[in-house]
Every structure is written in C-alpha cells, then in structure tokens.
Copies of this chain bind each other. A is one copy, B any other.
Amino acid sequence: MNQIDLMKELHTFSDKKIIMLVMDGLGGLPNDEDKTELEAAYTPNMDKLARDSVLGLSTPISPGITPGSGPGHLGLFGYEPLEYQIGRGVLEALGIGLDLSPNSLAARGNFCSLDPVSGVITDRRAGRIPTEECSRLVEMLSTIQMDEVSITIRPVKDYRFALILEGDGLADDLSETDPQKTGLKPLKVEALSSNATKSARILNQWLEQAFAILADQRPANGCTLRGIAKDPGLPSFAEVYGLQACAIATYPMYKGISRLVGMEVLDAGDSIASELHTLQANWGKYDFFFFHVKKTDSAGEDGNFAEKVKVIEETDRIIPGIVDLQPDVLIITGDHSTPSSLKAHSWHELPILLYADNIRPDTLRVFGERSCMQGGLGHMRHIDIMPLAMAHADKLAKYGA
C-alpha cells in the first residue's frame, strides 16, 4: 500500500489545527565563519520553540537528488515525488498564475532562431531575447485561433512562454519538439499513445501557423514546445487527509501547486507580514495551513548570504504571532536547500522542527542545520512529515487491530 492510500484509510477527524511553515530553499552551507544562513541568523523565537520541539533533518526526495519546486513541495505534502509527477508545462503555467482545468493541456514554449533557408535551429533560445520581445511575439501568436480548442498563450521570461489549450479529449502522452541541439529542424509533436492523436494533430497545426507568423521576425523566427502536460489529477488533501487545507503564499508557482492538491488559495498580499495577517484572519476556517515564505530561496539563488539571513530573521519575527494562535501542530522546514554559496537548489537535507503536544522532545535549544543533525527526529524524508503532523494532531487511526 502506498502512503497516500494508507492516509486515505487511516485519517480521522479531530478539531486540531496544523501549520506547515515552509521557508523556500531554507537549507544552507557554512560560510567562512562556519555558519549556515539559518545558524548565522538571529532567531530567538525559533530557538525558543526548539526547546519545546523535536528537531531533525529531512531529505526532499532521496540522498543526492536536488529537487525542483514541484517535487520539493509534493514531498512536503506527502506525495512521493518519484511516483507523482507534475509536467513542466503545468508548472510553467502555474508559475505565471494561470489556472488549469481537467480539460487543459499546458506546454512550455521556447522561442528559437531558425536558418531561413534550411529551417534548422541555429539558436535554441533565440539569443535569449528579452522578456519585452517575448511579449511582443506572444501577442502576435495570440491571434491564432482553432476550432476545437480555446488557446491561451502568455510570456514567461526571456525566450520562454506558456501555451495552454483547453478542449475535450486532450491527452498528454506527447513528444517534445525541441531536438535538443542546433543544426536540426524542430520536430513534430508525436502522439506516444493512441489517445493523444488528437492533441498531437492540433498542436502541429498550431505550430504550423506559428511558424508562418514568425517567419519574418529576427532573431526569434521559430519556437519549440516542451513538457506538454495535463493537470496530473493528484488526490486532494480532503480525500487523502480529510483536511480543510488552505495555502498562504505570495508567488504564483506555490499557489498553483497548492491548488493541484485541492488547497484553497487565500489572498495573502505580498509580504511575510501580510501572510501572517491572512493566517490570523482565516484561523477559524481551516484545519491545515500551508504558509510559504519565498524570499529565502530568491536570496539563496542570488548568492546573497546576508539577504537570506535577513529573510530568515524577518520570518522569525512573525513566530510569536503564529504561536499566539495556539496551533496544535507547527512544522518549520523548507522544500529544498538553496545554499547561497551554490546560488542554486541543492540536495542537502532540510532542518525541520516539529512542535506539538505528545512529541518526544530532544535536548536541543537551537534551530540550525548542525543542531538538527543531533535531533530526535533523526534523518527523515519529506514524505514522512505529513503523517507525523497528522499523528500529532490526533488525526490518524490505528493501523490494524
């Protein structure tokens, strides 16, 4: 039995409330003073919480594997990321705030440069055209209309755009059109199973029209489609955990992933303070609160150690406001590490703090990576976080007699 099925079977009602506070990219590596960002940050409130909590380190997927945002969050939500996958096209659409229905088919598009005579790709990213140029070209392509589907196309960033078809009978078992190297022509979309034939035909017709429209443009006179995917139809939080769940997040990507698992996405403004306000204002209405802090990751990606420290400290300052609500279970962790020294997501484990009644406390007094190495939770996996949260909230029945 996989874990999702186990949770479906065992979940039960209690009136207890769970908060999962996720600082995106929280995990770090030591700087010259042998401190990670979290260790360097002044976090009296999290440290105070640590004394009454049990700590540990959690692996997003498996040792050595660096997750993207999709798999990182699926793990946190209890969905084994190697089993439940979200297509790249869907993530791209969610990332710019587009909604998908079960009838939607989403693709990531890349503008590219073609040799005008031979038609082979000379630059797979069209010289990384600026976003404004991308917007201009997308506007041209938005004139394409087709009988069987309604079409949404939006610029993402640089040479990237999102394309969404909506209509009956669309399937996503489709090949990509990027040949992955220059000197080759863009490929056709191919149906990889018979029920995707219609989707392939429509996408190829769309591409034909798109190439005609782009023919005289420079440097982007072509495009490729990648990661063509549907909403994966994940079982919802209500179904799996029996939870009335909401998401408090400021960035489209995380709102989108939350929506894929059936969370209600609240209007949370654009700051950590406004997110706390949203939490407080909605405290009576839900029993699970996913609270997402984005800028720890952004600072890590920028290689800005001091800024990441600052965002962690800013988050620490709202902890009293969270604790005042008297959550029955409070988890603090991240979706993946983004050490400033690497300027990228990484595979390193995440510090995790579990604060609840009926924990078996360890003796640690500081929330930080090296402290968590000695924590009572040991080395765990992201997908085990939700069952632990459910258990500590009295929401899981006994397994077997």
Contact surface of A with B, Cβ cutoff 8 Å: 1, 3, 6, 10, 29-30, 36, 57, 61-71, 81-83, 85-86, 88, 91-92, 227, 339, 341-342, 345-349, 358, 360-363, 369-370, 373-374, 376-380, 384, 386-392, 396-401
Query: Known pairs A91-B400, A348-B360, A360-B370. 16 more at Cβ < 8 A?
Result: A29-B360, A62-B387, A64-B384, A64-B386, A64-B389, A64-B391, A65-B396, A66-B398, A67-B399, A67-B400, A68-B400, A81-B400, A85-B400, A227-B401, A362-B370, A378-B379
User: Chain B contacts of A380 at CB under 8 A?
Assistant: 63, 379
Which residue of chain B lies nearest to A339 when distances are taken between CB atoms in the complex? Answer: B358
Which residue of chain B lies nearest to A88 when distances are taken between CB atoms in the complex? Answer: B401
Is the CB–CB distance between B81 and A399 below 8 Å? Answer: yes
- Once bound together, how far apart are the Cα atoms of A128 and B110, in whole Å? 68
User: Chain B contacts of A82 at CB under 8 A?
Assistant: 1, 6
With contact pairs A10-B65, A373-B362 given, residues A378 and B57 touching in the complex (Cβ less than 8 Å): yes
Is the CB–CB distance between B86 and A400 below 8 Å? Answer: yes
Contact of A384 among B62, B363, B389 (CB under 8 A): B62
- Once bound together, how far apart are the Cα atoms of A227 and B389, in whole Å? 29
User: Chain B contacts of A373 at CB under 8 A?
Assistant: 362, 376, 378
- Once bound together, how far apart are the Cα atoms of A57 and B396, in whole Å? 21
User: Chain B contacts of A374 at CB under 8 A?
Assistant: 374
Is the CB–CB distance between A391 and B66 below 8 Å? Answer: yes
User: Chain B contacts of A398 at CB under 8 A?
Assistant: 66-68, 345
Contact of A370 among B10, B339, B363, B391 (CB under 8 A): B363
Query: A343 to nearest B CB, angstroms?
Result: 12
Is the CB–CB distance between A400 and B71 below 8 Å? Answer: yes
Q: List 15 A-B contacts (CB under 8 A).
A: A6-B65, A30-B360, A30-B361, A36-B360, A63-B384, A63-B391, A64-B386, A67-B399, A67-B400, A69-B400, A81-B400, A91-B401, A342-B358, A346-B358, A363-B370
- Once bound together, how far apart are the Cα atoms of A311 and B345, in whole Å? 41
User: Chain B contacts of A384 at CB under 8 A?
Assistant: 62-64
User: Chain B contacts of A83 at CB under 8 A?
Assistant: 1
